[in-house]
């Protein structure tokens, strides 16, 4: 069974991919061309542009929330990191001939 540190890292990585996918989807939002506006135009002329921008904004907000969650998970994972990581990296003395 994976420890908490590993599980949090995997959750954070998955959340990061979800955020990236959400931003990709947000970037595909089609914004219609800006309408020709005359003196007799009403606010209804801008509704297609306004609704497309609103949808893109919501998608960007969801992506930002997933990105923030990933950062939070990584921070908690760092707090849960084992204090003794010497088992992960073998430390050998550097030979004198290899020093600059």
For the chain, which residues make up each domain, given as ranges?
1-32+47-81
Distances (CA, A) of 73 to 21, 47, 96: 18, 39, 42
d(CA 79, CA 55): 37
Kindly state the average pLDDT of the residues 62-72: 95
Residue 45 has pLDDT above 70, yes or no: yes
d(CA 7, CA 80): 11
Instruction: Say if residues 11 and 73 touch (Cβ distance below 8 Å).
Output: yes
Residue 74 has pLDDT above 60, yes or no: yes
d(CA 31, CA 23): 16
Q: According to the model, what pLDDT value does residue 64 have?
A: 95
Kindly state the average pLDDT of the residues 52-64: 94
Residue 54 has pLDDT above 70, yes or no: yes
Query: What number of residues does the chain have?
Result: 100
């Amino acid at each position: 069974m994976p420890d908490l540190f590993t599980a949090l890292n995997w959750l954070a990585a998955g959340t990061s991919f979800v955020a990236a996918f959400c931003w990709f989807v947000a970037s595909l939002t089609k914004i219609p061309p800006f309408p020709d506006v005359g003196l007799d135009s009403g606010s209804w002329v801008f509704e297609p542009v306004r609704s497309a921008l609103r949808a893109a904004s919501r998608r960007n907000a969801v992506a930002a929330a997933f990105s923030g969650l990933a950062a939070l998970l990584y921070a908690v994972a760092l707090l849960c990191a084992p204090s003794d990581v010497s088992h992960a990296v073998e430390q050998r003395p550097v030979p004198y001939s290899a020093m600059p």
